[in-house]
Structure 1
Amino acid sequence: MARLFGTDGVRGIANSELTPQLAFEIGRAGAFVLTEGTHRPKIIIGRDSRISGDMLECALTAGLTSVGAEVISVGIIPTPAVAYLTRLYSANAGVVISASHNPVEYNGIKFFDKNGYKLPDEVENKIEKIMKEKIELPVPTGTGIGVRRECAEAQRDYIEFLKSTIEGDLKGLKIVLDCAYGASSTTAPILFKELGADVILYAAEPLGEKINVDCGSTHPEKLQELVLKNGADLGLAFDGDADRLIAVDEKGNIVDGDHIMVICGIYLKTHGKLKNNTVVVTVMSNIGLDIALKQHEINIVKTKVGDRYVIEEMIKGDYSIGGEQSGHIIFSEHNTTGDGEITALKVAKLLKESGKPLSEISSCMVSYPQVLVNAKVKNELKFEYMRDEDINREIEKLKNCMKGEGRVLIRPSGTEPLVRVMVEGKDHSKIKAMAKELAALIEKKLN
């Protein structure tokens, strides 16, 4: 059995790689590790809209209740809602069935601990150890078997929480919402309408067969079109489980996670709320972010790719904002994971307060062109580039050519037999050629 947990839980093609049997076993092992020693532990379970969700929720619930857990089903609801509700309902753990921005055929399972945080590697390893080694777990009978109940208040509790993250309302703003036919369909339209915004909806029904298809944060083209067509102030696109957000300004331009972190970081600093004067990002963030934040004398801490690594660094350094270019933004004052709807509210409120168009606000950061080229390399050789003199000599040569106005990033894939070569700089055609040449060299030397 290969490593089960990836950078964001367990993920695969539903009913093929992620089977009901596997979901059952994950439920048993996860409940045991996260709630060991607790009599009748309480576990929150939520999911996105994809059609395999019913099947996997039934199997996962069977696994959880088979070791005595009380399962509270909160239905189709955003991933960050489960993190919040786990804390609100004093549960022992939370679990989400979702494959985030991936196509409909995929699904996934990820856990939150009792404090609403994603699991560290060592806890995931304990769950995997039980499954791999087939360690015997308690098998309660009679009244010791767990039960399942539905929570009708969950959606309203989460919406009220979201409202509390900003002051005032959003009256006077015309906003297009793209809910990706996913989990945010159950909350975002209600939230923004109740806050007084003039709301135009797209992909705002929880239709599992359409989730992320030509919509959402990874496909914002229709949103851009609707913003221009309707003369909207702002477009907001969530992914399937609503833990990330991509915005569109009034001119139809994309405002990605890097831009959002810059404008929110500057706003927080201006209002004395940027803890330790720092924004946490990953190594994939655009160099334009570095330049913009340094111009405002804001410090930057970088982590490896994955929002849980951003969160770990935020906890360690007591920082208030961090995230990824893809739109996972964490506001630690409010939630313990990336929350697309909180991010959307922050951007909308900032827009209303400033009285300026988003295109003007986001112009404080200029994105440098980025080119990503994959080098095909066997899994066992993916890290050998670090020891190859020719490859390292070429990397240094490229860095010197850029004279501090670009960078080269080499990142072995965590799931595929690939080494990803990312080159960033001012001249797109130049960096494209650089990336292709370096990827070709890596393939030649390592195969």
Structure 2
Amino acid sequence: MIGSSVAFRTRSWVVLGLGFLTLGSPAALAADCPGHPDALGTSRTLVVDPHEHPRIGTMQYRETLPLKDHEVVLTFDDGPLPKYSNQVLQILADECVKATFFIIGGQAKANPEGVRKLVTAGHTVGTHSMTHPLTFDRMPIEKANAEINGGIEWTSAAMTDPSALAPFFRIPGLMRAEGVENLLISRGIQVWSADFPADDWRHVSPDRVYQLAIQRLEAKGKGILLLHDIQARTVAALPKIIRDLKARGYRIVHVVPATADRPATPTAPVEWLLHPPSETTPIARWPAVPNFVYTQTQTLPAPDLADLNAQPAHQPLLPRRTMAQANVAAILPAPGRDLFAIPEGSLEVLLSTTLSRRAATRLAMAAETTRAPKGKAAKPQARHTSHATPATPKHVAQPNSATPRPTRPSKRYPTAA
């Protein structure tokens, strides 16, 4: 009996110490779940301030809850519906698990006892509009405001203590709109999305709901799970999901809003990211250049070399006279047109045509013969032994001619100007 008493006192002090670590919020550990020693339990309670982090859930927003690795927050939408919501409550109670429920105002109006059961069991209760319209992304802001107010009024009216209603809101169908979000944030209401769903609102089997919940959680490593407590497939899949969470080493976190008597859990801004960057992870985005505020906008003139009291470090490459001349823009006369004229029938014209070089060479020899002194005959050019002498073109002058007759070039080429 004495040993049992010491053990009981030791365990009580441990539980009390963990309670202080969670800032006084109750946390149902697996070892303290009466009748269920193998229960998953609730590892800790997280207190959040909606004003500091107004949007959470990486399905739509940059931030999510500041969870550690392998921590999960269970959330349920669209209740209460006694046929299925009561079964979900019993499953959670057997595992000593605390969750967050987003209530529809119409459901609270029809089943106020179901809302009170949630509060009595220690779960967090938020709202999910009055009638669950899937048009929040395009409805007028006045109508959205009426939907938000209706859900809050009927849910709080169903409670014995209306102050138990958490300032948490999840937009139906996650059909977000910036105007709706700004309206909620201005009223101090935190907008909840999710990190991954289990698709339990679709026509799938309970086993598929379980598979999607575990697969998506494993891919994320932690986060907010979105479920519905009005579906039979959710009731069938939930026990298996909880058992698998325990087998895989996951822990349940209960989220409550901060109040004057219950301050928010101290966190760093980086903890609100699903996967915070580490020192070993390179970041591709450079920080933005800050916008400096200048006291004076007047610009100063650029300093002159004389203001620096310094001599140039190198001498100019050109002498001063040459440099002075280079600065004077000299204008040269345009060349005359006759500078480029080529006489008709000249050797240059013949070389530019398709005549063979031999014909041009013979023409040059003929010109040399005519310029030779009288009485001296020019020696004929030696013939190539390997080739026969080609026939002389008709338009080429003969060697014994006094003056070579110019030849008209081919019509296929233009004549010189």
Fold shared, TM-score > 0.5 on shorter chain: no
Q: TM-score, normalised by structure 1?
A: 0.21
Higher relative contact order (CA 8 A, sep 6+): 2
Greater percentage in strand: 1
Q: Max radius of gyration: which structure?
A: 2
